[in-house]
Amino acid sequence: MIKKLKGTKDILMTFVSLLVAVLVYGIFLIISGVNPLDIYSQMITQTLGNGYGIGQVIVKSTPFILVAVATTISAKAGLVNVGGEGQLVLGALTSTIAAVFLLDGFPSFIGIPLMAVAGMLGGMFWSGLAGVMRVCWNMNETLTTVIMNYIAYDIVAYAVYGRLKDPESFNWPMSPKIGAQLKLPEIYPGVSIGIIIAVVISLTTWFILSKSTGGYKLRVIGGNVEAARHAGIPVAATQIKAFLISGAISGLAGMIEIAGVEGRLRTTTGTNYGYYGFLAAWMAWNNPLAAIFTALLIGFLSVSGNVVEISSGLPSSCTKILMAIILLSILWKGKKK
């Protein structure tokens, strides 16, 4: 009963936070000289009023869902993992390297799973470093994962300007295209099966966290580390595992971005995706099921930015202001709770 009441309260608080954010952003639009009601109406109708717009929202939301789920797993273990961005990028890098140098001649039913494994290993490696620094040297994981995001992009830049650079790219920093057989199958024009993978992982994560012994241990650690130690739960080992699983899921998001969307690695691949996924997890109060819907909302806002630009003359990036207001509103409500 208490758990249900808490869940209802979290949903209500998220709704109130979104309402506050919409109202505050409306004031910003009025100050900018545009009618907020017209803008909100056009954002909805022009983005969700056709199949192409809906497809783009789904494509954008897929990595957000996966990074949000990854963030949730770390959070349940009492860790603030802001490194989904770097883990996604490393996963994109390792999966691209595998696709270009190792899997080019492989059939899809072998090459795609191996490419996914490569992406997950890349994300695990990057998150594992942060986990070791946290557990072995007591370094703040929030700071280390944020810094490692920037290092990850530097590594990608080094690769696409160097050995991984496409010789036919006219000097643009990008990798060669992956083989056509390594592209993820589409369920709708422009929409790959990546969204199905993301939803399945979200549902599976929710079930494991809610119903399994491992999920219970994570929740105990996240609730009270000292109590978990007294209960005989191996805190350090469990937190390392949580970091590794989180990194694997974020790395898979990077692989899906390469195999399902871009088809090659660029220096801009996955830019800000990790932070949007982190925001989706916070909006969902670290519930992997709710993260599906919050990630879809952020995907909608990302795509509808172009509508704002066309309709109002404001830059498309102004929707990021709305996302920031949403995050601040949720953080404030969380503090009140």
| Three-class SS state of 266 | strand
Question: What is the model's pLDDT at position 294?
Answer: 92
Q: What is the pTM of this model?
A: 0.93
Structure tokens of 235?
């805190």
The ranges of the chain with pLDDT < 70 are: 1-10, 331-337
Helices marked H in the chain — which ranges? 2-31, 36-48, 51-76, 84-97, 108-137, 141-160, 194-211, 213-223, 225-230, 235-257, 273-283, 288-312, 319-336
CB 83 within 8 A of CB 146: yes
Backbone dihedral angles phi then psi of residue 241, each to the nearest 5 degrees: -60, -40
> What distances in angstroms separate CA 244 from CA 81, 84, 142, 277, one per listed residue?
11, 12, 16, 17
CA proximity to 25, closest of 38, 13, 14, 36: 36
Residue type, 47: T
CB 184 within 8 A of CB 194: yes
Question: What is the model's pLDDT at position 6?
Answer: 56
Q: Which residues contact 186 (CB under 8 A, 6 or more apart)?
A: 192, 193
CA proximity to 180, closest of 122, 112, 118: 112
CB 273 within 8 A of CB 67: yes
CATH architecture of 2-336: Orthogonal Bundle (1.10)
| Three-class SS state of 105 | coil
Structure tokens of 38?
């017209």
Region at 285 (left for phi over 0; alpha for psi -120 to 50; beta for the rest): left
Domain boundaries of the chain, sorted by first residue: 2-336
Query: Which residue matches tokens 């830059």?
Result: 315
CB 125 within 8 A of CB 247: yes
- State how far the Cα of 201 lies from the Cα of 69, in Å rounded to an integer: 8
| Three-class SS state of 188 | strand
Q: Which long-range contacts (CB under 8 A, 24 or more apart) does 22-26 make?
A: 22/322, 24/325, 24/329, 25/321, 25/322, 25/325
What's the Rg (C-alpha) of the chain?
20
Question: What is the model's pLDDT at position 217?
Answer: 92
Q: 191 - beta bridge partners? A: 188
Question: What is the model's pLDDT at position 169?
Answer: 84
Other C-beta atoms closer than 10 Å to the C-beta of 192 total: 21
- State how far the Cα of 281 lies from the Cα of 273, in Å rounded to an integer: 12
Question: What is the model's pLDDT at position 208?
Answer: 96
CB 91 within 8 A of CB 250: yes
